[in-house]
Amino acid sequence: MAEAAFWDDQDRARDIVQQVKELKGWVEPHEALTGRVAAAQELGELLALEPDDAMAAELDAEVRRVVEELEAFELRTLLRGKDDQRDAQLEISAGAGGTEAQDWAQMLLRLYTRWAERKGYGIEVLDLSEGEEAGIKGAVLEIKGPFAYGFLRPESGVHRLVRISPFDSQARRHTSFASVFVYPVVNEEINIEIREEDLRVDVYRASGAGGQHVNKTSSAVRITHLPTGIVTASQQERSQFKNKATALKMLKNRLYQLEAEKQAAVKAAFDANKQDVTFGSQIRSYVFQPYTMVNDHRTELKIADVQKVMDGGIDPFIQAYLKQESASGVAGAGA
Domain of 218?
Answer: 196-262
Secondary structure (DSSP) of 213-278: GS-SS--EEEEEETTTTEEEEE-SSS-HHHHHHHHHHHHHHHHHHHHHHHHTT-HHHHHHHHHGGG
- DSSP letter at 168? -
pTM listed for this prediction: 0.69
Give the domain-ending residue among 204, 235, 262. 262
Query: What is d(CA 267, CA 263) in angstroms, rounded to the nearest whole number?
Result: 8
pLDDT confidence of residue 255: 86
How far from each other are the two terminal CA atoms of the chain, in whole angstroms?
30
58 and 19 co-located in one domain = yes
Cβ–Cβ < 8 Å for 200, 114? no
* pLDDT confidence of residue 114: 97
Instruction: Specify if 1 maps to a domain.
Output: no
Q: What is the pLDDT of residue 334?
A: 43
The reply to whether 178 and 92 lie within a common domain is yes
Residue 81 placed within a domain: no
Count of domains for the chain: 3
| Structural domain ending residue among the three candidates 262, 281, 298 | 262
Question: Which pLDDT tens digit goes with each residue over 47-93?
Answer: 999 999 999 999 999 999 999 888 888 888 888 787 898 899 999 99
In a domain, 185, yes or no: yes
Whether the bond into 166 is cis, omega within 30 of 0: no
Q: Are residues 319 and 248 in the same domain?
A: no
Q: What is the pLDDT of residues 242-255, one digit of tens each?
A: 898 888 888 888 88
Q: Is residue 335 part of a domain?
A: no
134 inside domain: yes
Of 262, 281, 308, the domain-final residue: 262
**Domain co-membership, 120 together with 243:** no
Q: Does any domain span residue 301?
A: yes
279 CA to centre of own chain: 21
pLDDT of res. 117: 95
| AA letter at 128 | L
Q: Report residues of the chain scoring pLDDT below 70.
A: 187-191, 207-217, 263-280, 329-335
Nearby residues of 52 by Cβ (< 8 Å), 6 or more positions away: none
- Which helix (H) or strand (E) covers residue 141, if one does? strand 136-144
